[in-house]
Structure 1
Amino acid sequence: MISFLSSDRSKPVAIWLFVVAAMVLAMVIVGGATRLTDSGLSITEWKPVTGALPPLSEADWQAEFDLYKQIPQYSQLNAGMTMAEFQTIYWWEWSHRLLGRLVGLVFFVPFAWFAIRRQLPRRLFLRLGGIFLLGGLQGAVGWWMVASGLTHRVSVAPERLMVHLGLAFALLGLVMWTAFDAWAGTARQTLPSPWGRRAAALLGLIYLQVLLGALVAGNDAGLIYNDWPLMNGALIPDDYLGANLWATLAHSQGAVQFNHRIVAYLLTGAALAMGFFAWRSTYLARESKLLAVAVAAAVGLQAILGVVTLVMRAPVGLSIAHQLAAALVLMLAVAFAWRVRRV
């Protein structure tokens, strides 16, 4: 029988969850680097347990290399690759998967420990269980994504990359929100104001932009239309329309980049307006005002970084920084949305 903490708050639980959030953030960054270095297809089998060990002998390495040689990415893009080159991309993917396993352990073991020692607030138990299940689902989604690039493609399907990255950002936000709840306990009062809805809408817009960014990454759309603010001299790219609606929204390089740009303009305007009106509000607490301004500043800087990354044709360093900044924007927006609902 599970025992619970009599209090509705626990700072040790909150600190543990902040550590988990930091590890999820690291997963996002390592995952981005894995994609940008075209390393994600280097491990062609899903071995949740035994895959934690890397190849330990020359024969093991050769066996892994032989499996990689059977997929289209090798024959069409990397034919003639040396063993040393293969090991470089292999280590990126192996590190990404190992970090995922570590995140699972760092979540589950303290979760069980806190429950046994009655240090787990009752109201957070089901939510934490849901987060654990979502984390397990993320591992399955990651393999589902990789599998899309092992037969008829040289890279993973953009829509599956979008699901994988979207779930990672959702987990990051859920863990952060739960950590705040564990630290502060139940709110003494829920604010009956429009600020909660506004903050939630801004958070939703940020999340949409993350998903659109994943489609840009999955389609390598950052490598074309590298002028700004126009796209090859036009407002709307000539190749915007695909064969059908799904082909347009998910697979047209022109469409996914255009959509990402338009939502970026909308998001930047909304965040700046939110920060301005929040700062002038006589209703919000100072902490909420500062968080609103921080979100606005982070979104503005992210927009600038996005433009620079685009015109530089998405170099690895800038692309990783852009993905990191997106995660930081989301974390600030979660903090703001959480704070404005409390007094």
Structure 2
Amino acid sequence: MPFDLVIAHGRSTGVPSIGARRAVAIWLFTICVMLLVMIGLGGATRLTGSGLSIMDWQPISGIVPPLSSAEWERLFAIYKTIPQYKMQPLGFDLTSFQHIFWLEWIHRFWGRLTGIAFLLPLIYFAVRGQIRRKLLPGLIVIFCLGGVQGFVGWFMVSSGFFPDSDHVQTLRLVAHLVVALVLYAAILWVAMTEWVPYPPAVPGSVGLRRLVIAVVVLTALTIIAGGFTAGSRAGYVFNSFPLMGGRIIPRGYDALHPFWMNWFHTLAAIQFDHRLLATATAVTTLAAVLWGSSRQLRLPQGPRDAMLALGVVVVVQYVLGVATLLLVVPVDLATLHQVVAVLLLSAGLIALHSLRGARAHAQT
């Protein structure tokens, strides 16, 4: 449908115009950027052990940081009661505590700010009728899921206060990560759909689209496996590549019974599975990129560029993963590795979205 006819049709039926839908898309893309920053802050918080520095959950009043020396001393005294404090190096004083406290406070503050940045424009666009009626309930669900994510974050942090633990439980960490990925992917997909509501036809690329779906699924699984690697600290063992302790499959992979328990509790198995999924993701992605760039397929410029970008990001991410492993998980590099993992998922979703016309063409 020509652009001017689309606008006229929207005005006559009450459907938001292309301009209105793109305004909504820009807002949602902005939220995606904020979520990406949030995920990066979360990674840095975890890697520095800052997450346990704030030992209460106050969604409203917690936005105000300590404002007096007495309040700082009170919070530091509470922190001294948990096992993590006993693991800190000699000389860990109030100044050191303030350093990790501020990182966690910024992480939580950014989460609150992201929630406000989502809610207020949602109300504004809804009142002005700039959000499609079928889309509005989904956006409300996404906002509610964001609130659930705040609770899951506290549920994760509180597991680090147990007498026998100096860090958060791995399963709770992974749950927090999964909810973040679902939120991010859902918002990104809606934003892309509002920006390009009518997909161009991409004849002959149904098979490529299915392969890109496999790439997205493998990327998500690899990120989740990375969550288990981070939560169990499995990245600090077998810091060599490509072999692990001189073997392809490391000793101790099957130490537990039943066998599947190794995937979640054995460090050798957790790291190996993350490596295996990462390699499968890279190989599948590069195969999709080669297929998408073939002369026989003749992809339009948009999908072709999306596929090439996907190939570049997967190579960068794989190199970052190997470097993070070999250098024994330095904070800056490991945080970057986590952020680029989300960018890789984004690139996969963008490539998949650009191929939506393949399905539409196949059904006609």
- TM-score exceeds 0.5: yes
**Match of residue 121 from structure 1:** 132
**Match of residue 20 from structure 1:** 31
> Which residue of 168, 187, 196 corresponds with 1:184?
196
**Match of residue 350 from structure 2:** 335
> Which residue of 68, 72, 75 corresponds with 1:64?
75
Secondary structure of 1:123's aligned partner: coil
Contact 2:229 2:270 in 1 (8 A): yes
**Match of residue 5 from structure 2:** none
> Which residue of 223, 248, 255 corresponds with 2:262?
248
Contact 2:208 2:288 in 1 (8 A): no
The alpha-carbon deviation at position 62 of structure 1 amounts to 1.4
CA 1:5–1:23: 2 relative to 1, 3 Å: farther
Deviations 1:263-296 (A, max 9, x none): 1111111000000001115253221122112112
- Taking the aligned partners of 2:98 and 2:137, their CA distance within structure 1 comes to 41
Amino acid at match of 1:143: W
**Match of residue 54 from structure 2:** 43
- Taking the aligned partners of 2:55 and 2:159, their CA distance within structure 1 comes to 11
Percent identity over paired residues: 38
Once the two structures are superposed, the pairs formed by residues 151-190 of structure 1 within 5 Å of their partners are: 151=162, 152-187=164-199
Contact 1:55 1:61 in 2 (8 A): yes
Deviating more after overlay: 7-16 vs 32-41:
7-16
Deviations 1:216-250 (A, max 9, x none): 11111111101111111122222323434564122
Deviating more after overlay: 20-29 vs 55-64:
55-64
CA 1:300–1:150: 2 relative to 1, 3 Å: same
Amino acid at match of 1:263: L
The alpha-carbon deviation at position 122 of structure 1 amounts to 1.9
Secondary structure of 1:148's aligned partner: helix
CA 1:286–1:188: 2 relative to 1, 3 Å: closer
RMSD value over aligned CA atoms? Answer: 1.9
So what's the TM-score if we normalise by structure 1? Answer: 0.94
Amino acid at match of 1:164: H
- Taking the aligned partners of 2:167 and 2:103, their CA distance within structure 1 comes to 16
Deviating more after overlay: 209-218 vs 167-176:
167-176
Contact 2:202 2:299 in 1 (8 A): no
CA 1:273–1:207: 2 relative to 1, 3 Å: same
- Taking the aligned partners of 2:17 and 2:39, their CA distance within structure 1 comes to 31
Runs of 5+ unmatched residues, structure 2: 1-12, 359-364
**Match of residue 245 from structure 2:** 232
The alpha-carbon deviation at position 187 of structure 1 amounts to 4.1
Contact 2:289 2:307 in 1 (8 A): yes
- Taking the aligned partners of 2:109 and 2:213, their CA distance within structure 1 comes to 33
Deviating more after overlay: 17-26 vs 277-286:
277-286
**Match of residue 361 from structure 2:** none
Q: How many residues align?
A: 340
**Match of residue 261 from structure 1:** 275
